Every structure is written in C-alpha cells, then in structure tokens.
Structure 1
Amino acid sequence: MLQPHQGPIAGAHYLPTTPETCLWGRLPNRSHAPVLRVRSGETVTIDTLSHEGILEDQGRDPVGYLKQYDVPADGVLADARDLAASDVAHDYDDDGPHVVTGPITVNGAQPGDLLRVDVLDLTIRAPYGFVSSRHGYGALPGEFPLTPVDTGPGSDPRAYGSVCHFTEVASSGGRLYGVLPFGAGRAARFPLAPFLGLMGVAVDTDEMVHSVPPGGHGGNLDINELQVGSSLYLPVQLPGAGFYAGDPHYAQGDGEVALTALEAPLRATLRLTVIPAAQAATLIGAGEAPLAETATHWIPVGLDADLNEAMRRAVRAAVDFLARTQGMPRDTALAYLSAAADFEVSQVVDAVKGVHCLIRKADFPAQI
C-alpha cells in the first residue's frame, strides 16, 4: 500500500487527495479556487484516488466493502476512507463517479495557450482494483450486468445490481499483471499498463460540469496511450488553466466496453508547461480538441456523442495536424492516414465517445 505522504514523492510539489483538494463527480469551472499553484515547467506529484470501493452502490464504506474480498482494514487507503466518511457532496444518480483532484493554477497560462502535461511517473498505490458494470451503462446497456435492478424513485443505490469484479495485482518476471478470477481455480492474467483516464483544464462556465463526458477541456478522455513518457496538450480556457487529474487505471482495453477499466489508485508525477498561443496554433489550430503524444506517435483526437462523428472528427484532426506540422497537402494527408495510421476507439461508455489516431513519427523523418 502506498499511503498518502509515504514513500518516494518525486515532484517539486505534492498534492494528496483530501476532502479539501478534490471534487467528486464534477469538474472544476471558473468558480473553483485553486488548491495548488505552480510555475510553468514545474512538476507535481498527485496521489489520485479511484472511485471504486467508495461509491454508494458499494456502501460508501471501503473498509466494509473490501472486507468481503479479504482485504484487511490496513489494506485500505487512508484517503479512500477519509473521503468516503466525509461530507463531500456526491449524488450517485446525478453526478459522475470520478474523484477529481485539483484545480491547479499554472502561473502564466491564458486562454489560447496550451497546457502540456508530461506524464513522468505512475506508481500503483494498492495491490488490487475493480472492473465494474452498472445498469444502464457500458457498450451493452440492457444486456449487462446480468443482475436484477431497482432504480425506481427513492430506491437505494445498493440495490442497483452493479457487478464489480475484484482484480488482484500479481508480479511475474519483473512485470505486474491483473488477475481476474473466473470458474474454479481459473483466472485471466493480463499486463498492467497504468494511465490516468482523466486529465483536463477548468471549463469557462459557472455551471456545474459533469465528470463523465470528455471535451475540448480534456477530462475523461480514457486514452490508454497516456502512459509514462506520454504528453497531453490541453487548450486553456481560463487564466491559470486549472489543471486536474483523476480516474486512475491500471489497465484498459480500447473501447472500455464493460463501463470501467481496471480502476485503481495511482501516484502520478506530472510536469505542467504552458505553450504560448502562437506556438499552440501550429499544433492544433483553433484548439477544439486535445492532442496526445508518445515517444513514437502523434495522437489527434475526435470526440462526439455519435461514434461515427467522433471518427470523422478524428480524421479531420489528423489531416489538420499533418498539414500544420509537416506541411503535407490535405489530400495527401488523407491518403497517408488511410494507408498507414490506426484509428482506435478510446471508449464508448462516457456519453461523448472518443476516437484517437496513431500517427507514427518514424514515417516523417526530419528534412535534410
């Protein structure tokens, strides 16, 4: 267990998740005061917290809930216990599930700029997590989960029939794996690939912002390429950017079809850097959607409630990116994308669906 304030903290700043530093199910907007201020280029270590194990359909009692999986009380994170027992507002039916830590002001960030988020380190905080399916959600609502449900007026969330698969972490050959049991003595074992499902900037509105749908602000993107060594470029909407993070994952397949990934807490060390508007425009133009990057790929993103339109937006974003950064004619860019790029479904479960495009950097050697 990696409890708050314990173990290595690599960032110049440290931000634990407490009732005072987080929102539950909502994203920061212009009315939320910063919980931390940093300078452009500085690093921050955030102890992100998973919502699984503390939600109302799990009793909002992580110690009691995890006891059924033989997890002792000292095997439960203190910040999970504290948030569940707090008076932080959360409505199971109306709010998103995510615990969102922030906002963080980055000095000098202004609308029109980009906030570059470099993912420097992701360390697991618990040797277990959950993959959950809830009625009315996921890729097959009405078909899964295979349980009775009562969501009528005044019904108790604990009677909603959610199915939450407890998944342990095991080590083998120097790698960490998720172990998902099924049947008598059998289990599926898959490699962990941690990333933050939710990273974003504050939205320029006074209205409450739901944590589930992603958008131009980033938020719940659920792009599984955003692992250690990746970068995310977010169009700044408000002075100071108002960065936040949450929804930590140990692993996720493209699509996230059940509803959740392997949800579990991470200690994330990130570098937050302001990219001025003039330079930002050469990357993503008007900044309608975030852009991601790894050591090997550029990753334009398309977002829309309709998956077909999300795909079209991803294609347009990829064509625009190649035209801006490589000087490629737009019709040639489309031909290249058809021949060589991969368009992957990020997720289909967050109301606004996501498609991300993988463009190999190696295909565009520097000009001689």
Structure 2
Amino acid sequence: MMKIQPASTHQKGKVVKNLTLSALALSISAPALAIECETPSGVPQHHLLAANSDTVHWGYFSKEVEPQIAVQSGDFVTIETLTHHANDDASRMIEGDAGAESVFKWEKGDKGVNRRGAGPVDASILGRGAGEGFGVHVLTGPIYVCGAEPGDILEVKILDMTPRPSQNPEYAGKTFGSNAAAWWGFHYNDLIEEPKPREVITIYEMDATGATNWAQAVYKYNWVPQTDPDGVLHETIDYPGVPVDHSTIEKDMNVLEGVRIPVRPHFGTMGVAPAEADFVDTVPPGYFGGNIDNWRIGKGGTMYYPIAVEGALLSAGDPHAAQGDSELAGTAIETSYTGVVQVILHKKDELADTVMEGLDFPLLETDSEYVVHGFSYANYLEELGESAQSDIYSQSSIDKAMRDAFRKMRTFLMTTKGLSEDEAISLMSVAADFGVTQVVDGNWGVHGVIEKGIFPAK
C-alpha cells in the first residue's frame, strides 16, 4: 500500500480556500492507495494527489502503471504537477521542496525516479539512462476512474491552477520556470547568429502569490555539455532531469529587459492511457490526449478524452505558465503547478445527442468555444505500426495535421450540430479559426476553434 503524501500547507490552504469560495461543499481526503472501487456514496469526494517520487511516472503513458488513487465519477482531485525542466535551475525550482527533491534526486547509481522515458530500463540503445529519455514529462498519477471502460468518454473539468512556490527562502513568494530553445525546436537549423547551432535556456520569474499575472526573464545561458552523476556526458538536452552545473555556464542577465509575458497557466500534457502499447512516449500527442501543448487547456476549460483501457488511467503534468501557439523553440515557460480537476465519466450508451457523440479525439470546451485537435496522424500508434514511436518524428507535417483538424471539425459539426457536409464546410470557412498548436512534439498539431454562440440554443 502506498501513502499519498500531503501537499504543502500553502498549497492546501490555497486550494481549500478557492473551493470554499466556489461553494464546493466537499471533504478533503488523502487516502492510502486504493485500487478497489468502493460503492459510491452519492456525495463527490475530494482527493489529494501530491507529486513525489512514489506518485509520478516519468516520460511515458502506460496501461501497466499501478494507479495512485481510485475515484468515482463526479469526484474532485487536487493534483500536484512538476516540470521536468526544474534542474535547469535547481536552486530556484527544487531546493527545499521535499516533493521535488524526491523526484529529482540523482546520486551516482541512485535516482529518485529511475526510468525516464518509454525506452529500455537498461539504456541499451543509446546509453543515456533508464528509459533513454524517449519521453520527457513528469506525470502525476495515474488516476483510476471506477466504471470506466473502452468506448466511454472521460470529462475533465479544470477548476483551478495555482503556481508551486519556490521553497528556497531566498526566493520567497516567487516561482520560476524555464524555456529551452532546444535541438527539437522549429528554429534550430535556421539560426543567423553565432554560435550555430546552440541550445539556450531562459529562466523566468513569476509572482507565486497571485499579485501579478505576468512573467519576466531573469537570465539566459547556452547549454554546454553536462556530465550526469552516473558519468554520462550529455552534449545536448537529450535526457530529462540532468542537473545543470552552474559553474560551467555563463549567465547573461540582460535578457528581454522590460518585457512582461502574460501568464496563461495550463497543462501541456494530460490524458488517458493508450491501448496500443505498454509504454508510450509522452512527447507525441494522440487520440488519448497527452502532450497537446494547447495553452487553452487551463482553468475554466473542460477536456473530453476517449477511453481506451479499463479505468481510463488519467495522468497530468508538463505544466506551463505561458506558451504561444506553435511552441516554436521547443518548450513553453516550463514550471510547476497544482491543479484542481473534476472527473466525470460518460458511458458509451449515453453519448448520443451530446458533444461527445462519435468522439475519437481529445476535445476542449470552454465557456465560449469548442476546440478540436488535429494531428499529423490521428492515431500514430496504429497507423505507423510497430515502429510508430520512432517513425512519427520523421513523418509529421502541418499539411497532415490541418487535414486531420478539418476532418474532425467536419465530423463534429455534422454529428453534434446536425449540419450537412456542405453546411459544415461553409461554416468552417467563414467562422472557424484554425491555428498551429505545436510543431515540436513529433506528432504536429493544428487546432480548430468554433464559437458556441453562433449556434441556436436548443
């Protein structure tokens, strides 16, 4: 049995206060791991899922991972999530934070979380470390949803997101994030200044108290080869959580002076377990959700995921403070957040005449919009066969993602709004906005946005 460790007093107080203001009369509990599903009480429960070395899985979605908690439809979960970029500046993002320290612990022969990625544990392919970094995101969970079966839809309402404060007394009241302009970025082979190529880390600071809602750059540095505690040299950012030795870097403190970046907190990666493979790289998104990297998947948003395995196995992570459409350079402002979500199960025989009818892709609903998510491959795990998890990185294109987004929006409008194909196509051309979600996640993304208010009320 695994105990769920509580969040910090600050985080728990903040969440409870927000829930009270929202008139959510719920009881907070932090139970021991319970895979068994108890008889529903009829009253939604509120679960706490902290982030620590026992409650996260790093770099993969998996139908084989033991659930951390079991919830009933309608339950609420406060879920802590950590950025995998915290070691870009450990003094600001890890030091003094017991949960983060347990996850990022790395001494010779001893890592807090050993496997990082969907690759082999013995690192027999490239020798970079367990999991090989074939997948990079720290995910908290999974959450087992009682009664969930393949063909059902999981609704996840994002009720709140609060920053995880730095626990280093030197940075009290602040929180920090990292942006990596990295080798997987769209820009990398199109640089004009020397040195070329280069990877650049920019550290951003934000107010953790909520007094301000913008981020500002603190400093930047060029990545230089780093040797991890096990003696492996990392010429590039090729394995998650490698501690950066700040004695080896040169900091430029004059960066983006006077520029304020609006904070738009969201989960970069959230989804359910796919059925096609036991361990699936977190980088390419798919029908199961995952690393969609859409900044709209934040507070006030509702995600719908098609369920592929028993219990759904929902996990979340890769929290972002801010990101632009395309995530051009490779990452957002990668930071750590605590979210409050409500999980609602919709059985497959109850989907008719709802926005979930025929849904086989991750759908976002906000107060005013529906957002469909298209990818270069709607289900790359199935379409590309046995080598899908490696081939996807050379097979993606915006053209393919746009085609998929168009098809999904067409189906959505015809199925849920009763339009003919001609009506759907005309409406898309005059009223839908299509944008590039990301071009850095292997399976590139295009999202289509349609305003809810244009349709007549039923």
Per-residue CA deviation, residues 99-118 of structure 1 (Å, 9 max, x unaligned), is 01111100011100000000
Please, which runs of 5 or more residues in structure 2 have no aligned partner? 1-5, 17-27, 29-45, 106-111, 117-128, 166-174, 219-252, 377-395
Alignment of 1:170-319 (within 5 A): 170=207, 174-180=211-217, 183=254, 186-280=257-351, 282=353, 283-304=355-376, 305-319=396-410
* Contact 1:297 1:360 survives alignment (8 Å): yes
For residue 88 of structure 1, the aligned residue among 114, 139, 164 is 114
* Secondary structure of the corresponding residue to residue 188 of structure 2: coil
Alignment partner, residue 5 of structure 1:
8
In the other structure, the counterpart of 1:98 is: 137
Which is further off, 80-89 or 224-233?
Answer: 80-89
Q: Unmatched 5+ residue regions in structure 1? A: 59-64, 150-160
CA distance in 1 between partners of 2:410 and 2:274 (Å): 27
CA contact (8 A) 1:297 1:361 kept: yes
Q: Give the letter for the 1:190 counterpart.
A: I
Q: State the distance in 1 between where 2:159 and 2:335 align.
A: 18
**TM-score normalised over the length of structure 2:** 0.69
Checking the alignment, whether the CA contact within 8 Å between 1:314 and 1:356 is kept in structure 2 is: yes
Find out whether 1:140 has 2:187 as its counterpart.
yes
Runs of 4+ with >6 A deviation: none
| Cα-to-partner distance string for 1:333-360 (whole Å, 9 max, x where unaligned) | 1111111111111111000011111110
Q: Which amino acid aligns with 1:81?
A: E
Aligned pairs, number: 339
Q: Which whole-Å CA distance do the structure 1 matches of 2:286 and 2:97 have between them?
A: 31
The secondary structure found in structure 2 opposite 1:247 is: strand
Q: CA deviation at 1:141?
A: 2.8
Alpha-carbon displacement from aligned partner over 1:243-269 (angstroms, at most 9, x marks no partner): 000000011100000100011100000
Shift of 1:279: 3.4
Alpha carbons of 1:87 and 1:183: their partners in 2 closer, same or farther (altered >3 Å)?
A: closer
Partner of 1:121: 160
Matches within 5 A, 1:1-80: 4-7=7-10, 8=13, 9-10=15-16, 12-29=46-63, 31-54=64-87, 58=88, 65-67=89-91, 71=92, 76-80=96-100
Q: CA deviation at 1:142?
A: 2.4
Q: Which amino acid aligns with 2:9?
A: Q
Question: Alpha-carbon deviation of 1:280?
Answer: 3.4
Secondary structure of the structure 1 residue equivalent to 2:258: strand
Q: Is the 8 A contact 2:62 2:278 kept in 1?
A: no
Letter in structure 1 aligned against 2:71: V
Deviations 1:155-195 (A, max 9, x none): xxxxxx64210001149995410102573782321110100
Higher strand proportion, which one?
Answer: 1
The two structures have a TM-score, normalised by structure 1, of: 0.85
CA distances 1:126-158 after superposition (whole Å, capped 9, x unpaired): 3111111222x0112324596577xxxxxxxxx
Q: Which whole-Å CA distance do the structure 2 matches of 1:203 and 1:18 have between them?
A: 24
Letter in 1 for 2:359: G
1-structure distance, mates of 2:302, 2:310: 21
* Aligned partners of 1:170 and 1:179 also within 8 Å: no
- Residue 320 of structure 1 deviates from its aligned partner by 1.1
Q: Which position in structure 2 is the counterpart of 1:336?
A: 427
Q: CA deviation at 1:95?
A: 2.3
8 Å Cα contact 1:104/1:243 also seen in 2: yes
- RMSD across aligned positions (CA): 2.4
Aligned partner of 1:359 in structure 2 is 450
Q: Relative contact order: is structure 1 or structure 2 higher (C-alpha 8 Å, sep ≥ 6)?
A: 1
Which of 106-115 and 85-94 deviates more?
85-94
Query: Structure 1 pair 366/27, CA: closer, same or farther in 2 (3 Å)?
Result: same
Q: Structure 1 66/303 Cα, relative in aligned 2: closer, same or farther at 3 Å?
A: same
Partner of 2:292, secondary structure, is coil
Three-state SS of the structure 2 residue aligned to 1:187 is coil
- What CA distance in whole angstroms lies between the structure 2 residues aligned with 1:303 and 1:72? 32
Relative distance call for 1:87 and 1:22 in structure 2 (3 A) is closer
Q: 2:445 is aligned with what amino acid?
A: G
**Cα displacement (A) at 1:306:** 1.9
In the TM superposition, what whole-angstrom CA distance separates every residue of 1:218-262 from its partner, at most 9, and x where no partner exists?
Answer: 000111111211100000001110000000001110000010001
Structure 2 Cα separation of the partners of residues 281 and 109 of structure 1: 18
